[in-house]
Amino acid sequence: MLMVLWGMMIMAMAVGGLITYMRGSVLEDVDAAKAFEARLLAQSGIVLGMHPDIKKNDPLLRQQVSALKRYEVKVSSLGARVAINQVVANPDIRDYCRKLFILWGLDPEKAGILTDSLVDWVDADDEISPLGAEEAHYTLRGAPQFPRNQGFRHLDEMLFVRGMHELARKKSNWKDYFTLHGSGLIDVNEASAELLEVVCDVTRAQTDLLVLQRRGPDTIENTEDDEPYTEFSAVQEALGLSRWDFADVLPRLALNHPIRRVESTGHAGNAAIRLIATVGPGINLIEEQRASPSGSLAFELSRDEGAP
């Protein structure tokens, strides 16, 4: 009798284990199916957003496919961001960075340290900038593999640079202001008032007025009544600059930046996939971000389909 009971107990444990295994396998299949559907929705959004005739305010860019499936697409240009990998080649980029860092709460000395450290990270030599950091600084802190002495591969890599963590605490959305690519020009029809303030070396009141005018009568960005600038003379007038002062600013600006950024997020149940396409002369890049079970974007994969 005891042997029979032991046999039944062992069988029950085996059956329970099999049920647990099968349940986990089914849940994995369900999650994989949702992720697949979310990716298809994101891909549909990318195709739509990359169409040359699509407008930033087109209602087609936000679609509720069913109760549990949807996608939203944001179309912009890289001219709304600072091309951080040009921090060595373009002195203007260094100037933008230092002024932004001060604007975000760093004191001038720390802003200078961070700017020079970004330069030392990207440049190919081991010569230390006046306030920068090369291998000796990172080695003392247990990271002898830094700096990489090449361009940043991901924006998150900037967090390894000396002084960057303090800035990130002061400006949580700092990544919205930078790009790994771009011509270095700033698009007056895309950039924030904050960025235009440091690029044009004017007051916030002046750039607030410029942004307000491009938003049109409803004062809301990316709506049908937007009035983008088509001539630099109108930009000069909006900023209230003299012809001579604006001549110094003009080489930094663009009216229609050639590199587009299309960000498409597909949702299927609790799964979300975000694809970011960067397309323009000499570049065709697609990045993918997946959501964790909680729904927050957790990690990033990338695929380069062209020359940066």
Q: What is the model's pLDDT at position 54?
A: 86
Helix extents (H) in the chain: 2-49, 91-103, 108-122, 135-140, 164-170, 193-200, 204-214, 232-239, 243-249
Backbone angles phi, psi at 4, to 5 degrees: -65, -45
Backbone angles phi, psi at 62, to 5 degrees: -130, 110
The reply to whether the predicted model has a pTM over 0.85 is: no
Q: What is the model's pLDDT at position 176?
A: 93
Q: What is the model's pLDDT at position 218?
A: 92
Q: What is the model's pLDDT at position 299?
A: 37
Q: What is the model's pLDDT at position 86?
A: 95
Strands 283-291 and 271-280: antiparallel
Local structure of 65: helix, strand or coil: coil
Segments of the chain scoring below 50 in pLDDT: 18, 21-22, 26-27, 292-308
Q: Strand pairing partners for 289? A: 274, 300
Q: What is the model's pLDDT at position 56?
A: 85
Q: What is the model's pLDDT at position 206?
A: 96
